[in-house]
Structure 1
């Protein structure tokens, strides 16, 4: 560290602390007894685990729903995005430039506009307040991103490998399944992770398409059990937020190296 840049580390630590303070306060309140929350203690002097006991009793069905929706969104996203990306990257499809442009446009459509359209369609199709309906809605956000990410990687794969497979008699589908997919592992994990996180944190689609789902509501809606017209249960609310954040945090930590490799894959080509 040079004499001119000594201030960068303290500034970085200060900015990091400011960004992480809301997370710390969420955890702090979740461990503070109900009578002491309004005191605004910086550390939970009146420590309690009662809020987490309430959450584990009340919110497990909602956590299960979020898990089902997240995994379903991952499966549907990869099932659609992987072959689509391969076709865009490696096959001579007409109108590929237009399709890539439409993928970008699809990500620019506001989710609130999409939710209104889904509500009209779902009300006629009988998909309101259902898990498949949420999976389908969340996949519309994840698929365009996954196709663009995977196609960028697949376009950089050595063409000699696929040519060798074709000379050995492998069909296009066999080449995709046996060569392209194994080599695209990092990008597939990255696309799956982002799809899961989008579905796990979704509130707009859940509040619009699954408002009366009862126990089938995701955790982002289950937290509303502690918000009333005249009173808010801050302790259980923050404990629910902590519990809901843990799967996403664990996934990001475990898959960090795959995400770093998957996001940068395809950025540099020979």
Structure 2
């Protein structure tokens, strides 16, 4: 009975995976078809046509680069702010740690449109509309709280004896953080960095709200505007979607082991 149940579970898992991945397959399939309406797309690209990718790179190449710059900037800023904050919350005997952590959690629950509206008013006065710095700051509002929670859990799992030994050897707090704690929590750092990148890469709300010109336009907004202007050329639209999916997919594949370890790193002490 157990082998039979195992085979049924495997078949059910494969069926569910096929259903979830079918939109991805259809996106790739449509991107390799000749230009035309989507209803006329065949089930298989019998004669692959790369003209959609040529058009997508020509029209959306700058937007892809913009998304890459903004996402990497968000990763750097999120980790730079979250790392010392998480270390302080994990290691220092501070009063009010619980309310601070609750506040961090609350920031994750605030609807994005509320944050976007507030930032629009602030950015208008600060001159940060239509700028890379403005988008990096906005996207970091999602990356910083998540990074604090992940890093704090991992830093709390670092044995206190190791930290005390470094302190006895004369290392200061910053040296302990840099040379002892961070190497031991690198999986959590990778996890926080990857999710910060994904938050920024997939952002549409901030990108649409905080940009009133085409000066700084991430690929998410580019696809949104591209879709309305090029519906007769679905191969180019789908090719743009495929290109926009590649960086995030490659990052997840490369970092999957560290992601699994980083998410569960603070679960067992």
Give CA deviations for 1:145-181 in whole Å, capped at 9, x if unaligned. 1000000010111111111111122111111111111
Look up the match of 1:30: 31
Matches within 5 A, 1:104-183: 104-183=105-184
CA distance in 2, matches of 1:91, 1:135: 29
Superposition CA RMSD, Å: 1.5
Q: Say if 1:226 and 1:232, in contact at 8 Å, map to a contact too.
A: no
User: 1:151 and 1:6 mapped to 2: Cα distance?
Assistant: 40
Instruction: State the alpha-carbon separation in 2 of the partners of residues 119 and 182 from structure 1.
Output: 38
Q: Distance in 1 between matches of 2:164 and 2:152?
A: 18
Partner residue in 2 for 1:265 = 265
> Shift of the alpha carbon at 1:7?
2.0
What is the aligned partner in structure 2 of residue 226 from structure 1? 226
- Correspondence list, 1:224-263, <5 A: 224-228=224-228, 231-263=231-263
Output the TM-score relative to the length of structure 1. Answer: 0.95
Q: Kindly report structure 1 stretches of 4+ aligned residues shifted beyond 6 Å.
A: none
Q: Residues 46 and 160 from structure 1, CA distance in 2 versus in 1: closer, same or farther, beyond 3 angstroms?
A: same
- Summarize the alignment of residues 88-107 of structure 1 with structure 2, pairs less than 5 Å apart: 88-107=89-108
- Measured against aligned partners, the alpha-carbon deviations of 1:91-146 in whole angstroms (never above 9, x if no partner) come to 01110010011111010001111111111111111111101000000001010010
Q: Quick check: 232-241 or 19-28, which moved more?
A: 232-241
Q: Is the 8 A contact 1:36 1:46 kept in 2?
A: no
Any gaps of 5 or more consecutive residues in structure 1? Answer: none
8 A contact 2:74–2:197 mirrored in 1: yes
Q: Which residue of 2 aligns with 1:69?
A: 70
- Matched residues in 2 for 1:87 and 1:213: separation? 41
3-state DSSP class of the match of 1:228? helix
Question: Contact 1:226–1:233 (CA<8 Å) still a contact in 2?
Answer: no
SS at match of 1:258: helix
User: How far is 1:224 from its partner?
Assistant: 3.2
In structure 1, what is the Cα distance between the partners aligned to 2:209 and 2:143? 18
Q: SS of the counterpart of 1:2? A: helix
Partner of 2:19: 18
Residue 36 of structure 1 and its aligned partner are, at CA, apart by 6.2
CA separation in 1, counterparts of 2:257 and 2:197?
17
Match of 1:194 in 2: 195
